[in-house]
Structure 1
Amino acid sequence: MKRLALKIDVDTYRGTQRGVPALVELLSRRQAGASFLFSLGPDNTGRAIRRAFRPGFMQKVRRTSVLEHYGLLTLMYGVLLPGPNIGRRCASTLRAVRDAGFEVGVHCWDHVRWQDGVSGADNAWVETEMTRAVERFTQIFGEAPRLHGAAGWQMNRHALRLTQRLGYAISSDGRGTHPFLPVIDGELIACPQLPTTLPTLDELIGVDGITADTVADHLLSLTESASGDQVFTLHAELEGMRLLPQFERLLDGWQAQGFSFVSMADLAASLDLKRLPHHEVRFEEIPGRSGKLFVQGPAFPA
């Protein structure tokens, strides 16, 4: 049976409060495995307005109805209202995800700060952000995290190095086609990457006539003949809320296509992680998303 890992990014306080429980209920009912990656510090979503001058950002805002999906209150956090500390306020919700049998991991400390700042950050900045997230995760769950998935698929050389130093067993920080060991500036990073292989719903809606009503069928057409394991990233703020019916339609379709739904850890368990191919790291734009993302590059000689 083909496997599809469901990677759930939780970006905001609202998504943690409302989207996460809805997804836990749906996935539990479907007996589907999944991995939840949490933002653990302040929700400063409102500060994302600084991206207004980034190429493609406002176009994405118009396509995906940001106000509709995130709500006015969330868009005020960090600007007109103090950003609520997600890990402090929602610790019981996060533990309930683990207690329901799902894998849990780290997305980031401050989602907007990471997504907007990490590309040009030095090691001290990166280490502060990543260490804060690890410490809060450990406080909540009583053990260190084993899975990392970067906010906005944004990384740099220091962050990749820290995934191995902080003890992560696997990471899903970028976009690509299959599991690999990353090589950046000629340096091999020992922490395996299991990249997102499929486009996200918010990258597809509003492009080439695709609507919220047709996006599930479009994505299913892409996976109909797909070979090998796949990783799909969804968001608690989208597929856990207004796009929940579309996500359930995807689950039905993928099940009909022969996929089983697994966590990232389940996917990794069947791999010989020490023998994964080595691939260069690149930072490139991808369709439907603004800015440059961490992307799996060409094979690098072992």
Structure 2
Amino acid sequence: MPTLALKVDVDTLRGTLEGVPALLRLLDRHQLRATFLFSLGPDHTGRALKRVFRPGFLAKVRRTSVTSHYGLKTLLYGTLLPGPDIGRRAADPMRDAARSGHETGVHTWDHILWQDAVVRKSAEWTRRQLQLAVDRYGDIFGQPPQVHGAAGWQMNDAAYLLEQELGFTLASDGRGIHPFLPVVQGQALKVPQLPTTLPTLDELIGVDGLNADNVADHLLRLSTDGRDHVYTLHAELEGGQLASVFDRLLHGWKAAGLHCTTMRAYADTLNLSALPHHAVGLGSIPGRSGTLAVQGEVQ
């Protein structure tokens, strides 16, 4: 039976307060568990507007109805409105996810800052950002995090090395085709990468005739190819206006015989020490602007 790991990226205050509870209710109805990765510091979503000159960004904004999914107030955080502290304002929904039996982990401290800056930042800067997130996670959950999934699928070499140093035992930081152990600066690391293997809803909707009415069927075709997959959903989308799409996906995956579960449960089906070693680098993904972390060649 193929496995489909459900990874939930939670980027914003609104996604944490509204999207997470909605997803918990939906997953409970299906009797399924997922991995929730939280943004734990300030919500500076409004600062993403500086990406306006990035190739493909405006096209993505137009076709994915960013304002309706995220809300005008969220799109002003960090610019005209101060960025609220997500971890302080929304710790209860985070704990509710854990209390409901879902896996939890670290997405980032400051989502926009990490996504827009980490590729060119120093090891010291990267350590501070990760340590802030690790410390806040400990404050909220009373234990250190085990899982990391990079904001915007953005990483640098230092971040991969720090995951191992800071005690993470599982990561899903980039895009790829199958689980692997990353090779960074000639060193094979011990923290396995379970990359996202399927496109996300915001990468698909508005392209090639896909919309909220037919995108679930398209994704079901992609994900029922007999292979294991990792699907990344967003609390702001599948926990909001695209909840019905996610509901159809869950029905379809179960009907197709896929085992939908957490990242950890998926990892437990693998011989992690025998995973292939792959380089990590930057590449492009259809439907997403800019470059992001991708699985590279076998080492």
TM-score range, shorter chain: over 0.9
- Cα shift at 1:287: 0.3
Q: Which amino acid aligns with 2:254?
A: Q
Whether the aligned pair in 2 keeps the contact of 1:6 and 1:231 (CA below 8 Å) is: yes
The answer as to 2:188 corresponding to 1:188 is: yes
Match of 2:20 in 1: 20
2:275, 2:151 → 1: CA distance? 24
Match of 2:269 in 1: 270
- Cα shift at 1:77: 0.3
The answer as to 2:112 corresponding to 1:112 is: yes
SS at match of 1:6: strand
Q: CA RMSD in A?
A: 0.8
- Output the TM-score relative to the length of structure 2: 0.99
The unaligned stretches of length 5 or more in structure 1 are: none
1:274, 1:92 → 2: CA distance? 36
Match of 1:68 in 2: 68
Alpha-carbon displacement from aligned partner over 1:133-178 (angstroms, at most 9, x marks no partner): 0000000000000000000000010001001001001000000111
1:169, 1:228 → 2: CA distance? 23
SS at match of 1:72: coil
- Cα shift at 1:227: 2.1
- Cα shift at 1:185: 3.3
Alpha-carbon displacement from aligned partner over 1:232-274 (angstroms, at most 9, x marks no partner): 0000000000000000000111111111111001011121212
- Cα shift at 1:187: 2.4
Whether the aligned pair in 2 keeps the contact of 1:180 and 1:192 (CA below 8 Å) is: yes
1:207, 1:101 → 2: CA distance? 36
- Cα shift at 1:282: 1.8
SS at match of 2:73: helix
The answer as to 2:277 corresponding to 1:282 is: no
- Output the TM-score relative to the length of structure 1: 0.98
**Which aligned segments of 4 or more residues in structure 1 are displaced greater than 3 angstroms?**
none
Q: Which amino acid aligns with 2:144?
A: A
Match of 1:235 in 2: 234
Match of 1:250 in 2: 249
Alpha-carbon displacement from aligned partner over 1:11-48 (angstroms, at most 9, x marks no partner): 00000000000000110111112000000000000000
Whether the aligned pair in 2 keeps the contact of 1:5 and 1:33 (CA below 8 Å) is: no
- Cα shift at 1:228: 2.5
- Cα shift at 1:80: 0.5
Aligned length: 299
1:223, 1:103 → 2: CA distance? 22
- Cα shift at 1:297: 1.1
1:175, 1:113 → 2: CA distance? 20
The answer as to 2:66 corresponding to 1:49 is: no
After TM superposition, list the pairs within 5 Å mapping 1:21-40 onto structure 2: 21-40=21-40
Match of 2:141 in 1: 141
SS at match of 2:289: coil
SS at match of 1:25: helix
Match of 1:155 in 2: 155
- Cα shift at 1:209: 1.1
